[in-house]
Amino acid sequence: MNYAEDFLEIMKSFDFDRCLTAMKALDWEYYDGEPDIDRLEETVRDIYETLMAVTEDGEYPRSVTAGGFRIAIPYNGANLHLSFVIEYIDWIGSEVENA
């Protein structure tokens, strides 16, 4: 499935200003300093490209996370999901995996 058009629509519609406001309120910086809107968009483009890269077994990764952003393809493969994540926990039995 080709997700390029979906991705372009996501980039137009996603509220990067809101993410930047949250980051500033939390004093959240990237390793090389305080991000701006261009940097946030660049981060999302980078993780999208990583998501679209085919793995050695011919499969796509299901999700990629970086810089607070998570882009994912649900298991049904119907569309893309982009989120900005401040806190996340995944409970696996008796183990906790924080992302």
Q: pTM value?
A: 0.82
The residue with greater pLDDT, 89 or 48, is 48
pLDDT band at 93 (very low <50, low <70, confident <90, very high): low
> Distance (Å, rounded) from C-alpha 1 to C-alpha 23?
33
The proportion of the chain whose per-residue pLDDT surpasses 70, expressed as a percent, equals: 85
pLDDT of residue 44: 97
> Distance (Å, rounded) from C-alpha 87 to C-alpha 21?
16
What are the boundaries of each domain within the chain? Answer: 4-98
pLDDT digit string, tens, across residues 6-47? 999 999 999 999 999 999 999 999 999 889 999 999 999 999
Q: Which residue has the tokens 């996370």?
A: 65
